[in-house]
Amino acid sequence: MNIPELEHRIRDFINSPRRQTVLLARVADWNKLCSSLDLVGDTQLAIQAYPKLCNSKGDGASYLIVYGILQTLLLQQDAAKHIASALNITIKLPKELNDIRIVRNSAAGHPGLQNENGQSKSCFISRMSLSPIGFDLMTIYSKDRDYKITHVSIPRLLKTQSSYLSEVLSKVVEELERQEMEHREMYKETKLSECFPPTVSYYFEKIFEAICGKNESLFGVSNLDFIQDCLDNFKDNLELRGLWGVYDSINYHYGKLLYPMKELNVYFESKEKSKLNGDDAYIFTSFLVEHLNSLKKIAMEIDEEYASRA
Protein backbone atom coordinates (compact mmCIF):
# COMPACT_ATOMS: atom_id res chain seq x y z
CA MET A 1 0.00 0.00 0.00
CA ASN A 2 1.13 3.55 -0.66
CA ILE A 3 1.09 6.35 1.92
CA PRO A 4 -2.49 7.59 1.24
CA GLU A 5 -3.81 4.01 1.35
CA LEU A 6 -2.02 3.35 4.63
CA GLU A 7 -3.41 6.57 6.09
CA HIS A 8 -6.95 5.51 5.20
CA ARG A 9 -6.35 2.01 6.58
CA ILE A 10 -5.29 3.45 9.93
CA ARG A 11 -8.36 5.69 9.93
CA ASP A 12 -10.56 2.63 9.38
CA PHE A 13 -9.06 0.98 12.44
CA ILE A 14 -9.31 3.94 14.79
CA ASN A 15 -12.86 4.75 13.73
CA SER A 16 -14.15 1.28 14.62
CA PRO A 17 -16.53 1.71 17.59
CA ARG A 18 -14.54 -0.31 20.13
CA ARG A 19 -11.15 1.22 19.41
CA GLN A 20 -12.50 4.75 19.01
CA THR A 21 -14.19 4.60 22.42
CA VAL A 22 -10.88 3.65 24.07
CA LEU A 23 -8.99 6.37 22.22
CA LEU A 24 -11.54 9.07 22.98
CA ALA A 25 -10.95 8.45 26.67
CA ARG A 26 -7.33 9.56 26.09
CA VAL A 27 -8.05 13.03 24.78
CA ALA A 28 -4.46 14.15 24.20
CA ASP A 29 -3.60 10.96 22.27
CA TRP A 30 -6.81 11.17 20.24
CA ASN A 31 -6.11 14.79 19.28
CA LYS A 32 -2.50 13.96 18.41
CA LEU A 33 -3.62 11.00 16.33
CA CYS A 34 -6.20 12.95 14.34
CA SER A 35 -3.83 15.87 13.77
CA SER A 36 -1.03 13.57 12.65
CA LEU A 37 -3.22 11.60 10.25
CA ASP A 38 -4.37 14.87 8.70
CA LEU A 39 -0.75 15.96 8.47
CA VAL A 40 0.28 12.79 6.64
CA GLY A 41 -2.40 13.48 4.05
CA ASP A 42 -1.69 17.22 3.86
CA THR A 43 2.04 16.75 3.36
CA GLN A 44 1.37 14.08 0.75
CA LEU A 45 -0.67 16.62 -1.22
CA ALA A 46 2.27 19.02 -1.03
CA ILE A 47 4.65 16.31 -2.24
CA GLN A 48 2.33 15.44 -5.11
CA ALA A 49 2.26 19.11 -6.14
CA TYR A 50 6.07 19.35 -6.22
CA PRO A 51 6.65 18.13 -9.82
CA LYS A 52 4.49 20.97 -11.15
CA LEU A 53 6.84 23.47 -9.50
CA CYS A 54 10.09 22.08 -10.90
CA ASN A 55 10.08 24.45 -13.87
CA SER A 56 9.90 27.53 -11.64
CA LYS A 57 12.58 30.12 -12.45
CA GLY A 58 14.62 32.33 -10.18
CA ASP A 59 16.66 31.83 -7.03
CA GLY A 60 13.87 33.06 -4.78
CA ALA A 61 11.41 30.50 -6.11
CA SER A 62 14.05 27.76 -5.84
CA TYR A 63 14.78 28.59 -2.21
CA LEU A 64 11.08 28.63 -1.40
CA ILE A 65 10.52 25.25 -3.07
CA VAL A 66 13.60 23.62 -1.51
CA TYR A 67 12.89 24.95 1.99
CA GLY A 68 9.25 23.99 1.64
CA ILE A 69 9.79 20.44 0.43
CA LEU A 70 12.46 19.70 3.06
CA GLN A 71 10.16 20.95 5.81
CA THR A 72 7.33 18.91 4.33
CA LEU A 73 9.38 15.71 4.52
CA LEU A 74 10.23 16.36 8.17
CA LEU A 75 6.61 17.12 9.06
CA GLN A 76 5.48 13.89 7.44
CA GLN A 77 8.04 11.84 9.33
CA ASP A 78 7.08 13.46 12.63
CA ALA A 79 3.42 12.78 11.89
CA ALA A 80 4.17 9.08 11.35
CA LYS A 81 6.02 8.92 14.68
CA HIS A 82 3.15 10.65 16.48
CA ILE A 83 0.60 8.27 14.96
CA ALA A 84 2.53 5.32 16.34
CA SER A 85 3.06 6.86 19.78
CA ALA A 86 -0.62 7.83 20.10
CA LEU A 87 -1.49 4.18 19.45
CA ASN A 88 1.18 2.93 21.89
CA ILE A 89 3.04 1.27 19.03
CA THR A 90 6.84 1.36 19.11
CA ILE A 91 8.55 2.21 15.84
CA LYS A 92 12.02 3.38 14.90
CA LEU A 93 12.70 5.50 11.86
CA PRO A 94 15.17 3.75 9.54
CA LYS A 95 18.55 5.31 8.81
CA GLU A 96 17.39 6.40 5.36
CA LEU A 97 14.71 8.63 6.88
CA ASN A 98 17.09 9.97 9.52
CA ASP A 99 19.46 10.93 6.70
CA ILE A 100 16.68 13.06 5.22
CA ARG A 101 16.21 14.74 8.60
CA ILE A 102 19.93 15.55 8.71
CA VAL A 103 19.74 17.16 5.26
CA ARG A 104 16.72 19.21 6.30
CA ASN A 105 18.35 20.36 9.54
CA SER A 106 21.58 21.28 7.77
CA ALA A 107 20.01 23.09 4.83
CA ALA A 108 16.70 24.46 6.09
CA GLY A 109 16.51 23.90 9.84
CA HIS A 110 19.63 25.08 11.68
CA PRO A 111 22.27 25.76 9.03
CA GLY A 112 24.07 28.45 11.03
CA LEU A 113 25.21 26.24 13.89
CA GLN A 114 25.00 22.53 14.67
CA ASN A 115 27.06 20.05 16.65
CA GLU A 116 28.52 16.92 15.13
CA ASN A 117 30.78 14.53 17.03
CA GLY A 118 31.76 17.17 19.57
CA GLN A 119 32.46 20.03 17.20
CA SER A 120 30.34 22.75 15.69
CA LYS A 121 29.53 22.96 12.03
CA SER A 122 27.81 25.42 9.71
CA CYS A 123 26.15 24.71 6.39
CA PHE A 124 25.62 26.67 3.20
CA ILE A 125 23.46 26.08 0.14
CA SER A 126 25.49 26.94 -2.95
CA ARG A 127 23.29 29.40 -4.79
CA MET A 128 25.07 28.67 -8.07
CA SER A 129 23.99 25.03 -7.82
CA LEU A 130 20.46 25.72 -6.60
CA SER A 131 17.38 24.71 -8.56
CA PRO A 132 13.97 23.30 -7.60
CA ILE A 133 15.35 19.78 -8.07
CA GLY A 134 18.47 20.03 -5.92
CA PHE A 135 21.54 21.87 -4.68
CA ASP A 136 25.08 21.48 -3.37
CA LEU A 137 25.40 21.71 0.40
CA MET A 138 28.75 22.84 1.80
CA THR A 139 29.57 22.00 5.41
CA ILE A 140 32.46 23.60 7.31
CA TYR A 141 33.72 22.61 10.76
CA SER A 142 35.15 24.54 13.72
CA LYS A 143 38.13 22.24 14.24
CA ASP A 144 40.82 20.87 11.99
CA ARG A 145 38.62 19.05 9.53
CA ASP A 146 38.17 19.59 5.81
CA TYR A 147 34.96 21.07 4.57
CA LYS A 148 32.74 18.85 2.49
CA ILE A 149 30.29 19.42 -0.34
CA THR A 150 27.32 17.10 -0.75
CA HIS A 151 24.87 17.16 -3.64
CA VAL A 152 21.25 16.91 -2.56
CA SER A 153 18.72 15.57 -5.08
CA ILE A 154 15.16 16.43 -4.10
CA PRO A 155 13.56 13.75 -6.34
CA ARG A 156 15.84 11.14 -4.73
CA LEU A 157 14.80 12.29 -1.25
CA LEU A 158 11.15 12.06 -2.23
CA LYS A 159 11.60 8.53 -3.55
CA THR A 160 13.40 7.47 -0.38
CA GLN A 161 10.75 9.04 1.83
CA SER A 162 7.91 7.37 -0.05
CA SER A 163 9.51 3.94 0.20
CA TYR A 164 10.67 3.98 3.81
CA LEU A 165 7.79 5.95 5.30
CA SER A 166 5.42 3.43 3.70
CA GLU A 167 7.35 0.73 5.57
CA VAL A 168 6.93 2.61 8.86
CA LEU A 169 3.19 3.11 8.38
CA SER A 170 2.85 -0.51 7.23
CA LYS A 171 4.28 -1.64 10.56
CA VAL A 172 1.63 0.44 12.33
CA VAL A 173 -1.11 -1.15 10.21
CA GLU A 174 0.29 -4.64 10.78
CA GLU A 175 0.28 -4.11 14.55
CA LEU A 176 -3.30 -2.79 14.47
CA GLU A 177 -4.33 -5.83 12.42
CA ARG A 178 -2.57 -8.15 14.86
CA GLN A 179 -4.31 -6.55 17.83
CA GLU A 180 -7.69 -6.74 16.12
CA MET A 181 -7.29 -10.40 15.15
CA GLU A 182 -6.11 -11.25 18.66
CA HIS A 183 -9.22 -9.60 20.11
CA ARG A 184 -11.54 -11.39 17.67
CA GLU A 185 -9.85 -14.71 18.33
CA MET A 186 -10.62 -14.39 22.04
CA TYR A 187 -14.36 -14.10 21.48
CA LYS A 188 -15.17 -15.62 18.09
CA GLU A 189 -16.46 -18.86 19.65
CA THR A 190 -18.85 -16.94 21.91
CA LYS A 191 -21.76 -15.86 19.74
CA LEU A 192 -23.61 -12.76 20.85
CA SER A 193 -26.64 -13.90 18.90
CA GLU A 194 -26.88 -16.90 21.25
CA CYS A 195 -27.85 -14.46 23.99
CA PHE A 196 -31.23 -14.49 22.22
CA PRO A 197 -32.06 -18.22 21.86
CA PRO A 198 -34.96 -19.52 19.76
CA THR A 199 -36.95 -19.91 22.98
CA VAL A 200 -37.31 -16.11 23.12
CA SER A 201 -40.29 -16.37 20.79
CA TYR A 202 -41.82 -18.90 23.18
CA TYR A 203 -41.36 -16.49 26.10
CA PHE A 204 -43.14 -13.75 24.20
CA GLU A 205 -45.91 -16.13 23.20
CA LYS A 206 -46.52 -16.88 26.88
CA ILE A 207 -46.48 -13.16 27.72
CA PHE A 208 -49.14 -12.50 25.08
CA GLU A 209 -51.18 -15.40 26.48
CA ALA A 210 -50.87 -13.96 29.97
CA ILE A 211 -52.16 -10.60 28.75
CA CYS A 212 -55.16 -12.21 27.06
CA GLY A 213 -55.81 -14.85 29.76
CA LYS A 214 -56.36 -15.04 33.46
CA ASN A 215 -52.90 -15.92 34.78
CA GLU A 216 -51.16 -12.61 34.20
CA SER A 217 -48.97 -12.73 37.28
CA LEU A 218 -47.93 -16.38 36.98
CA PHE A 219 -46.94 -16.40 33.30
CA GLY A 220 -46.21 -12.74 32.70
CA VAL A 221 -43.61 -12.07 35.38
CA SER A 222 -41.71 -15.35 34.93
CA ASN A 223 -41.44 -14.96 31.16
CA LEU A 224 -40.46 -11.30 31.45
CA ASP A 225 -37.68 -12.51 33.75
CA PHE A 226 -36.46 -14.81 30.98
CA ILE A 227 -36.37 -11.86 28.56
CA GLN A 228 -34.48 -9.77 31.12
CA ASP A 229 -31.97 -12.59 31.55
CA CYS A 230 -31.34 -12.52 27.79
CA LEU A 231 -30.76 -8.78 27.87
CA ASP A 232 -28.47 -9.00 30.90
CA ASN A 233 -26.46 -11.77 29.26
CA PHE A 234 -26.12 -9.69 26.10
CA LYS A 235 -24.92 -6.67 28.08
CA ASP A 236 -22.44 -8.77 30.09
CA ASN A 237 -20.92 -10.23 26.93
CA LEU A 238 -20.60 -6.80 25.35
CA GLU A 239 -18.86 -5.50 28.46
CA LEU A 240 -16.37 -8.37 28.32
CA ARG A 241 -15.40 -7.32 24.80
CA GLY A 242 -15.26 -3.62 25.61
CA LEU A 243 -18.28 -3.05 23.36
CA TRP A 244 -20.90 -1.94 25.85
CA GLY A 245 -21.97 1.62 25.13
CA VAL A 246 -19.96 1.97 21.91
CA TYR A 247 -22.64 1.15 19.32
CA ASP A 248 -25.28 3.85 18.88
CA SER A 249 -27.67 1.29 17.42
CA ILE A 250 -27.38 -0.99 20.46
CA ASN A 251 -27.69 1.96 22.83
CA TYR A 252 -30.87 3.01 21.04
CA HIS A 253 -32.66 -0.35 20.97
CA TYR A 254 -31.53 -1.40 24.45
CA GLY A 255 -32.62 1.93 25.88
CA LYS A 256 -36.05 1.62 24.26
CA LEU A 257 -36.61 -1.67 26.09
CA LEU A 258 -36.14 -0.34 29.62
CA TYR A 259 -39.42 1.54 30.06
CA PRO A 260 -41.80 -1.10 28.64
CA MET A 261 -40.02 -3.84 30.63
CA LYS A 262 -40.52 -1.83 33.81
CA GLU A 263 -44.19 -1.05 33.11
CA LEU A 264 -45.04 -4.61 32.09
CA ASN A 265 -43.54 -5.92 35.32
CA VAL A 266 -45.78 -3.54 37.26
CA TYR A 267 -48.75 -4.61 35.14
CA PHE A 268 -48.26 -8.31 35.81
CA GLU A 269 -47.46 -7.89 39.50
CA SER A 270 -50.37 -5.57 40.31
CA LYS A 271 -52.97 -4.37 37.84
CA GLU A 272 -54.23 -1.91 40.41
CA LYS A 273 -50.87 -0.13 40.55
CA SER A 274 -50.30 -0.27 36.79
CA LYS A 275 -51.00 2.54 34.34
CA LEU A 276 -51.60 -0.05 31.62
CA ASN A 277 -54.71 -1.84 30.48
CA GLY A 278 -54.69 -5.07 28.47
CA ASP A 279 -54.38 -3.28 25.12
CA ASP A 280 -51.50 -1.17 26.42
CA ALA A 281 -49.71 -4.27 27.67
CA TYR A 282 -50.18 -5.96 24.29
CA ILE A 283 -48.73 -2.95 22.47
CA PHE A 284 -45.81 -2.70 24.89
CA THR A 285 -45.02 -6.38 24.40
CA SER A 286 -45.14 -6.01 20.61
CA PHE A 287 -42.72 -3.10 21.01
CA LEU A 288 -40.39 -5.36 23.00
CA VAL A 289 -40.48 -7.99 20.27
CA GLU A 290 -39.52 -5.44 17.62
CA HIS A 291 -36.55 -3.98 19.47
CA LEU A 292 -35.30 -7.33 20.76
CA ASN A 293 -35.29 -8.65 17.19
CA SER A 294 -33.28 -5.60 16.17
CA LEU A 295 -30.73 -6.33 18.89
CA LYS A 296 -30.46 -9.93 17.75
CA LYS A 297 -29.84 -8.79 14.17
CA ILE A 298 -27.05 -6.48 15.34
CA ALA A 299 -25.61 -9.32 17.44
CA MET A 300 -25.50 -11.55 14.35
CA GLU A 301 -23.68 -8.83 12.40
CA ILE A 302 -21.08 -8.52 15.17
CA ASP A 303 -20.68 -12.32 15.19
CA GLU A 304 -19.97 -12.23 11.45
CA GLU A 305 -17.37 -9.52 11.99
CA TYR A 306 -15.63 -11.54 14.71
CA ALA A 307 -15.57 -14.63 12.49
CA SER A 308 -13.99 -12.65 9.65
CA ARG A 309 -10.25 -12.45 9.04
CA ALA A 310 -10.56 -9.13 7.16
- Domain boundary residue among 185, 208, 243? 185
pTM of the model: 0.84
pLDDT for residue 309: 74
168 and 239 fall within a common domain: no
In this structure, are 54 and 164 located in the same domain? yes
Residue 145 is predicted with a pLDDT of 81
pLDDT score at 263: 95
- Is residue 49 domain-shared with residue 88, that is, in the same domain? yes
**Domain identity same for 19 and 166:** yes
Residue range of the domain that includes 218 = 189-307
CA distances from 202 to 77, 116, 207, 209, 309 (A): 60, 79, 9, 11, 35
Q: What is the mean pLDDT of residues 147-167?
A: 96
Query: 62 with 161, same domain?
Result: yes
State residue 213's pLDDT score.
80
pLDDT mean over 53-69: 95
Q: What value does the mean pLDDT take over residues 168-197? A: 95
Res. 310 pLDDT band, cuts 50 70 90: low
Domain count for the chain, please give it. Answer: 2
Same domain for 168 and 287, yes or no, is no
User: Of 134, 165, 185, which residue constitutes the final position of a domain?
Assistant: 185
Q: What digits encode the pLDDT tens for the residues 82-140?
A: 999 999 999 999 999 999 999 999 999 888 787 877 788 899 999 999 999 999 999 99
Query: What's the pLDDT at 300?
Result: 96
Tell whether 221 is covered by a domain: yes
pLDDT digits (tens, 9 = 90+) for 227-246: 999 999 999 999 999 999 99
Determine the pLDDT at residue 126.
94
Q: What is the pLDDT of residue 216?
A: 60
Q: Which band of pLDDT confidence, cut at 50, 70 and 90, is reported for residue 270?
A: confident
pLDDT band at 143; cut points 50, 70, 90? confident
- pLDDT tens per residue, range 14-30: 999 999 999 999 999 99
Calculate what percentage of the chain has a pLDDT beyond 70: 98
The per-residue pLDDT of the chain, averaged, comes to 93
Domain identity same for 177 and 210: no
Domain-embedded: residue 90: yes
**How many residues make up the chain in this entry?**
310
pLDDT tens column, 210-229? 988 865 667 889 999 999 99
Q: How much is the pLDDT for 215?
A: 58
The answer on pLDDT for 146 being more than 90 is: no
- pLDDT of 103: 96
**Are 64 and 166 contained in the same domain?**
yes
User: Is it the case that residue 36 has pLDDT exceeding 90?
Assistant: yes
Are residues 77 and 181 both part of a single domain? yes
Of 43-52, 65-74, 244-253, 263-272, the range with the lowest mean pLDDT is 263-272
